[in-house]
Amino acid sequence: MLFAKHDKLVMIGDSITDCGRKRPYGEGRNDAYGSGYVSAVNALLQSTYPELMVRIVNMGISGNTVRDLQARWDTDVLDLKPDWVSIMIGINDVWRQFDQPQITESHVYMEEYRETLDALVAVTKPQVKGIILLTPFYIEPNPEDAMRGKMDEYGQVVKETAARHDAVLVDVQAALAPLLAHRYPASLAWDRVHPDLTGHMAIARAFLDGVGFAWSGSSR
């Protein structure tokens, strides 16, 4: 597994990461990590690798785009001095183009998305052990759907950024595909964006697979 003893992992993103986490820092007891994939990742790491004492901090904020991450990157990531950083961003960058088509100042188009994400990864990489990039996703099986197609394009930017910077890539859209082969999208997410616990667990499993998690742990 990639994480070593006492490693600190900051997980940042939008509402999918936030999920009602504690403020100002999403860590601690009970529901401090929120009710989504971050909480699942934390619980599985602590229960399967208790000897590592990995410290997770959830810094997701609902509604964020990559532009918002850039504005708070120093205080909410670099100042926390993490060993690892996980980033899942892009859903709102795409969604605002569809649910607020006239409010163009809220749109984050492809070039800005690509340049900003690349800059955040580039400035962070020398200061951490590694970076984990998760693709944005849309809970829709039809790749010809307009928003799903656009989300896939932004997901491709994440894949290219991960390859360019030797980051760990987690393809969330691919992780959700088996569910979408059997489940109607609205049964996983009424708005096809905010998944239920089943969807969040699929994201958590993909994340843990990406970092080399083994159910048997590392020392037993």
Domain ranges of the chain: 8-210
User: Which residue in 152, 194, 196, 218 is the catalytic one?
Assistant: 194
Calculate the alpha carbon distances from 50 to 32, 43, 145, 201, 220 in Å.
Answer: 19, 10, 43, 20, 11
Whose tokens are 């393809």? That residue is 171
Question: 107 an active-site residue?
Answer: no
Report the SS3 class of residue 64: coil
**Among 29, 124, 33, 28, residue whose Cα is nearest residue 84:** 124
User: Which residue in 31, 99, 166, 191 is the catalytic one?
Assistant: 191
Question: Exposed e or buried b for every residue in 74-98, given b needs 16+ CB within 10 A?
Answer: eebbbeeebbbbbbbbbbbbbbbbe
Taking only the tens place, the pLDDT of each residue in 105-159 is 999 999 999 999 999 999 999 999 999 999 999 999 999 999 999 999 999 999 9
Question: 200 an active-site residue?
Answer: no
Whose tokens are 């997410």? That residue is 189
pTM above 0.85, yes or no: yes
Question: 76 an active-site residue?
Answer: no
Taking only the tens place, the pLDDT of each residue in 150-191 is 999 999 999 999 999 999 999 999 999 999 999 999 999 999
What's domain 8-210's superfamily in CATH? SGNH hydrolase (3.40.50.1110)
User: Which residue in 7, 15, 76, 200 is the catalytic one?
Assistant: 15
